Amino acid sequence: MKAAKQTVSLTINSDLYALAKKLGINASQVAEEALIQQVTRLQAEQLQAEIRQDLEAASTYIAKHGSFAELVRQHYNNNDEA
């Protein structure tokens, strides 16, 4: 993600922040990387949930109407017999 930077306010344990600063850790960079990981994970979970829902809907349709491939085979088999 390459967008303009935005200043935000975070509430962080002051001792932890002081230690991180002493160690030369860039808290902004760490926070951004953590947010990227979390956003990516949640987006993947949402996509997996949508795919599961779509597969369930397709399975329900197939159980009720048969598969599209079966319908096409029946159609062409019926046309071959005519």
In a domain, 40, yes or no: yes
Average pLDDT of the segment spanning 15-20: 97
In a domain, 8, yes or no: no
In a domain, 24, yes or no: yes
Instruction: Report how many domains make up the chain.
Output: 1
User: Cα Rg for the chain, rounded, in angstroms?
Assistant: 27
In a domain, 1, yes or no: no
Average pLDDT of the segment spanning 37-45: 98
Is the pLDDT at 80 greater than 80? The verdict is no
pLDDT at 81: 62
Reported pTM: 0.70
pLDDT at 82: 55
Query: What are the distances in angstroms from CA 79 to CA 65, 70, 73?
Result: 20, 14, 10
In a domain, 65, yes or no: yes
Could you tell me if 68 and 75 are in contact, meaning their C-beta atoms sit under 8 angstroms apart? no
Quick one: what percent of the chain has pLDDT higher than 70? Answer: 95
Task: Identify the sign of the CA torsion 40, 45, 49, 55.
Answer: positive
In a domain, 61, yes or no: yes
In a domain, 49, yes or no: yes
**Residue 32 lies in domain:** 14-81
